[in-house]
Chain A
Amino acid sequence: MENFDLKKQTPNLIVMALLVTLPLWINYVSYTQLGTQVVVMGLAAMALNFLLGYTGVLSFGHAAYFGLGAYGAAMTIRYIEPSTGLGVIVGTLAGMLAAMLIGPMIVRLRGVYFAMVTIAFGQVFYFIAFRWNTVTGGDDGLTGWKRMPLDFGFAKLDIQRDPTTFYYFVLVIFVIAVAIMGLLLRSPFGRTLIAIRENERRTRFMGINVNLHIWMSWVISCTFMALAGSMSALLNNFVDPRAFFWRQSGVFVIMCVMGGMRSFWGPMMGAAIYVWLQDYLSSATPNWQSFVGLVFVVVVLFFPRGVMGIIRRKATE
C-alpha cells in the first residue's frame, strides 16, 4: 500500500463520515429512506461515471443495466428463492452478462452514435419488461415480494423492517463497490482508460487496443450499475419498467454532469442534489422536473465542472 496521504484522503473521509453518521442527523432534514435512495442513486451515478468521466464514453442507455439488476433481484426473490443475497447476485450478474454480450456490438462506435445505440438497446429491455406481463408484471410492475432479512447463520440482520439496518446494509455494499472502482481508477489499467478519455489517437498509437479497453470499462460500469439497480429494487420492494426507460438513463447522466464528471465524488453529489430536489419539489409542484431541468441548465452553463468543480476551486483558493 502507498503511504496514507491525509490531504488526498480528506474528501473520502468527509464523505464517509457524512454517510456513516447519516441516520443520526437525517431526520432533521429528511428521512432515512431518502438517505438510502441517495446512496443507491449515488452508486448508480458513480458506476456510470466510470465510463463517462474516466473513459470519456457517453452511454445514454445505462438504465438498461440498472433495470436488469432490479428485475434480476426482484424476480429471483419472487420466483426462485426468497433470499436477498441471491437476488442481488443474480441481478448483478444479469447486468454484467448483458453488458458483456452487447459490448462488442457497440464499442466500435463513438460519440453520439454510441449514445444512440445504447438508448436503442435500453428500449429493447424496456419493451420486454412492459410486454411480458405474466412474468414481469408489465406496466404495473412486479409486486408480491419483499426484501428478506439477512441470515448469516451466526447472526440475523432485519433489513426488512428496520430502515436504519437496511441503510447500513446498502452503505456496506456501496463502500465495497466504490472502493473497487476507486482502486481500479488509480491502477495502471485505470490510467489507460483515462488516457483514452484524454486522447484516443495518442493512446492507440501507444499500442493500446482501445475498443477492448472500452469494452472492459463498459462491463465494469454496467456491472456496478446493475448492483445499484438491485439495491433500488430492495429499497422499494418493487420494480417497474420505467427503471429501464431512456429517461432514467438521462437522469444518471444529469447526476454526473451536475455533480462533476471529473471528480470521483462528483456524481454522488449530483445524485444527492437530484434525489433531494425531486423529493422536495415533487411534493410542492407537479412541474418539479422543469425546476430540476433549470438547476441542471444553470450548473452546466455556469459551472462546467459541476458542483464538485466549484467546491474544489474554493478549496484551492
Chain B
Amino acid sequence: MSFLSIENVSKHFGSLIAVDGVSMNVERGELRAVIGPNGAGKTTFFNLITGMLSLTKGRVTLDGQDLAGIDPSKRVSLGMARTFQITEIFPDLTVRENIRIPVEIQAGLRMSPRMPKAMEAPIRQRIEQLLEEGGLTKIAGRLAGELSHGDQRATEIMMSLALKPRLLLLDEPTAGMGDDETYAVARLIRRIHQEEKMTIVLIEHDMRVVFNLADRITVLAEGRPLAEGTPQEITQNATVQAAYLGGEA
C-alpha cells in the first residue's frame, strides 16, 4: 500500500460538491503536485487529508493507518504537517519565536513548565539551522506580522519543517511571490525532497515550479480527477491541455 492512500473521497457543502470521488496514491519520498483551475477543490482536498474537514465519502490512510475520526492535531503527531493558502503564522511574535514554538513542540516540550537544561543548546541550534535554511537569519528578530508576504510564507514553511514531518502538504507556497522569492522557495522544496527524502504534496499554480519539481502530477477540475501522470504525460495529455493548460502553455 502507498504511504499516503486516498480512496474515492468526496466533500459536499450542501448541494455543492467541492470534491467528487478523488483517489490518489503517493509513495514514500514522492513529490506530488496537485493542479487545477480556481475553485477546482484543491484546498478542500487538502482539508480532507489533514482532517480540517470531515469526509462525506471515502477513506484516507497514512502509512497503512486509517485516519477516519482522527483529529487534525493528532494527525500532526502521526507525521503530517501543512501550510495554508492564506499564511498562518504568529504575527505578534518574532520570526525566531515563530520557529522556536514548533521546535519545542517537536522536542516533546509542549507541556513542559521549564526548559530542561540539557535541551537548551540543541534546541537553539535547531532554531538557527532552520532560520538559516529558510533564509530567515537576517530577519529573525523582526515581528512576523511585519514581514513581506514572501518572508511570511517562508516562515510558515520553516515552521512546518520544524515539526520534522513525514508528509508535508504545501498549499500554493509561491502564491503572490516575485520571481526571486519563488525561485528560493522552489529550491528549498527541492532540497528537502532530495536530501531529506520527505514526502511532499504541493498545490501550485506556477507551472514552472510544478514541472520542475514534481515526480507526478494530479489534475483536478470541478472537484473531479481529470488526469494523473508524470510531468511529461501531463503536458501531452489532450484533455488537460484543453481544460486547463491550454491558456497558459
- A 168-196 binary contact with B (CB < 8 Å = 1; else 0): 00000000000000011001110110110
Known pairs A205-B50, A207-B163; A189 contacts B73 (CB<8 A)? no
Residues 104-131 of chain A, each 1 if its beta carbon lies under 8 Å from chain B, else 0: 0000000000000000000000000000
Q: Which of A185-229 contact B (CB under 8 A)?
A: 187-189, 191-192, 194-195, 198-199, 201-210, 213, 216
Q: List B contacts of A203 (CB < 8 A).
A: 101
Q: Is B91 an interface residue (CB 8 A)?
A: yes
Are A192 and B110 in contact, with the CB atoms below 8 A? yes
Contact A199/B110 with A191-B104, A207-B105 known, Cβ cut-off 8 Å:
no
Q: Which residues of A contact B76 (CB under 8 A)?
A: 205-207
Interface band, chain A: 20 to 34
B90: A residues at CB distance < 8 A:
194-195, 198-199, 202
Task: Please name all residues of chain B whose beta carbon is closer than 8 Å to the beta carbon of A209 when the two chains form the complex.
Answer: 71, 73
Instruction: Given A191-B100, A198-B91, A205-B88, output 12 extra A-B contacts at Cβ < 8 Å.
Output: A188-B110, A189-B109, A189-B112, A191-B104, A192-B105, A194-B101, A198-B93, A199-B89, A206-B101, A206-B102, A207-B76, A208-B105
Identity of the chain A residue whose Cβ is nearest the Cβ of B120 in the assembled complex: A2
Residues on A with C-beta less than 8 A from B105 are 188, 192, 206-208
A204-B110 contact, Cβ under 8 Å, with A188-B115, A192-B105: no
B231 interface hit (Cβ, 8 Å): no
Given A205-B73, A205-B82, answer yes or no on A198-B50 (Cβ-Cβ < 8 Å).
no
The verdict on B247 contacting chain A, using a C-beta distance below 8 Å, is: no
Looking at B50, B74, B76, the one whose CB has the most chain A CB atoms below 10 A away is: B76
**For the complex, what is the distance from the CA of A194 to the CA of B144, rounded to whole Å?**
14
Which of B71, B88, B93, B115 is in CB contact (< 8 Å) with A194?
A: B93
Would B112 and A188 count as touching, CB distance under 8 A? yes
A-B contact pairs, 20 of them (CB 8 A): A183-B114, A184-B113, A188-B110, A188-B111, A188-B115, A192-B110, A192-B111, A194-B93, A198-B90, A198-B92, A199-B90, A205-B50, A205-B81, A206-B73, A206-B102, A206-B159, A207-B77, A207-B163, A208-B110, A209-B73
Does B97 belong to the interface (CB within 8 Å)? yes
B225 at the interface (CB under 8 A from A): no
Instruction: Give which listed residue, A199, A204, A213, contacts B91 with CB less than 8 A.
Output: A199
Given contacts A195-B101, A204-B72, A207-B163, whether A189 and B113 have CB atoms under 8 Å apart is: yes
Q: Are A191 and B72 in contact (CB under 8 A)?
A: no
- From A188, A191, A194, A207, B73 is in contact (CB under 8 Å) with A207
- Residue of chain A at shortest CB distance from B103: A188
Output the nearest chain B residue to A210 by Cβ-Cβ distance. Answer: B73
Q: How far is the CA of A129 from the CA of B114 in the complex (A)?
A: 39
Interface residues of A (CB under 8 A from B): 183-184, 187-189, 191-192, 194-195, 198-199, 201-210, 213, 216, 262
| Closest Cβ–Cβ distance, residue A304 to chain B (whole Å) | 13
Q: Which of A187, A194, A195 has the most CB of B within 10 A?
A: A195
Whole-angstrom distance between the Cβ of B107 and the nearest chain A Cβ: 8
Task: Establish whether residues A189 and B72, one from each chain, have CB atoms under 8 Å apart when the complex forms.
Answer: no
| Whole-angstrom CA separation of A155 from B101 in the bound complex | 47
Cβ-defined contact, B97 with A191, below 8 A: yes
Residue among B88, B111, B112, B115 making CB contact with A201, cutoff 8 Å: B88
- Give B105-132 interface residues, CB cut-off 8 Å to A: 105, 109-115
- Complex Cα distance, B92 from A104, in Å, reads 29
Q: Which residues of B contact A262 (CB under 8 A)?
A: 92
B125 to chain A, nearest CB (A): 16
* Closest partner residue, chain B, to A198 (CB atom): B90
B91 vs chain A, min Cβ distance (A): 7
**Cβ contacts under 8 Å, B82 to chain A:** 205
| Residue from B76, B101, B163 having most chain A Cβ neighbours under 10 A | B101
Please name all residues of chain A whose beta carbon is closer than 8 Å to the beta carbon of B112 when the two chains form the complex.
Answer: 187-189
In the docked arrangement, what's the CA distance between A207 and B84, Å?
A: 15
**CB-CB contacts below 8 Å: B173-190 with A:** none
Q: Which residues of A contact B92 (CB under 8 A)?
A: 198, 262
Q: B67-81: contact bitstring with A at CB < 8 Å (1 yes, 0 no)?
A: 000011110110001
Q: Give the distance in Å from the alpha carbon of A201 to the alpha carbon of B87 in the complex.
A: 11
Q: Which of B73, B89, B114 contacts A187 (CB 8 A)?
A: B114
Distance, CA A155 to CA B6, complexed state (A): 72
Q: How far is the CA of A201 from the CA of B82 in the complex (A)?
A: 11
Which 10 residue pairs of A and B lie closest in terms of their CB atoms, listed nearest first? A207-B76, A198-B90, A188-B109, A202-B88, A188-B104, A188-B112, A195-B101, A207-B77, A187-B113, A204-B73
Which residues on B sit within 8 Å (CB–CB) of A205? Answer: 50, 52, 72-73, 76, 81-82, 88
Q: Are B114 and A208 in contact (CB under 8 A)?
A: no
Chain A residues with CB below 8 A from B114, complex form: 183, 187
Contact call B101/A192, Cβ cutoff below 8 A: yes
**Closest partner residue, chain B, to A184 (CB atom):** B113
- Asked if A189 contacts B111 (CB within 8 A), the reply is yes
Contact check, A183 vs B88: say whether CB atoms are below 8 A apart.
no
Most buried by A among B52, B74, B91, B102: B102
Specify which of B52, B73, B112 lies most central, judged by the most chain A CB atoms within 10 Å of its CB: B73
